[in-house]
Amino acid sequence: MLKEFKVQTKGHTDIIDITSKVAEAVRIADAKEGMAFVFIAHSTAAITTIEYEPGVVNDLKRILEKIAPREADYEHHQRWGDYNGAAHVKSAILGVDLFVPIVGGELVLGTWQQIVLIDFDEYPRQRRVLVKVIKS
């Protein structure tokens, strides 16, 4: 079963907890055992897991900005005339997909672990997230 949902973001490393939306896809699929494959269909956003609390969220934003500073000079800017080269680099580093096991009809996540969408682009966007539930 494939479930798609859209998420409105603010851009600029907006981090949004999407755990409940992924869990809903698992419930709709009536999957007792298997995997949930989460994918974001964009090249300036990412999917990962974190403890979704303000300290970790701010730490992650700060570290990612050090790794790929928004104000740096990226060749992408000259090619396309836009200024989201850092967004593309951050997305490539974190990745656009995630597998989460399903056991007993529930996502298997750590006590403090949530699934998050991170939008690195320069502007608010509506992001498309796909969840493929694979039953075993």
Beta-carbon contacts of 94 under 8 Å, excluding residues fewer than 6 positions away, are 46, 47, 48, 64, 118
Average pLDDT value for residue range 39-55: 98
Q: What's the total number of domains in the chain? A: 1
Token pair for 21: 């939306």
Instruction: Count the neighbouring beta carbons within 10 Å of the beta carbon of residue 95.
Output: 12
**pLDDT attached to residue 33:** 98
User: What does the pLDDT read at residue 82?
Assistant: 85
pLDDT at 105: 97
Q: What is the pLDDT of residues 72-115, one digit of tens each?
A: 999 998 887 889 999 999 999 999 999 999 999 999 999 999 99
The overall average pLDDT reported for the chain is 96
Domain of residue 31 covers 2-135
CATH of the domain at 48: 2.60.120.460
Q: What percent of the chain has pLDDT over 90?
A: 93
Report pTM: 0.96
For residue 113, the one-letter residue type is: Q
Confidence of residue 52 (pLDDT cuts 50, 70, 90): very high
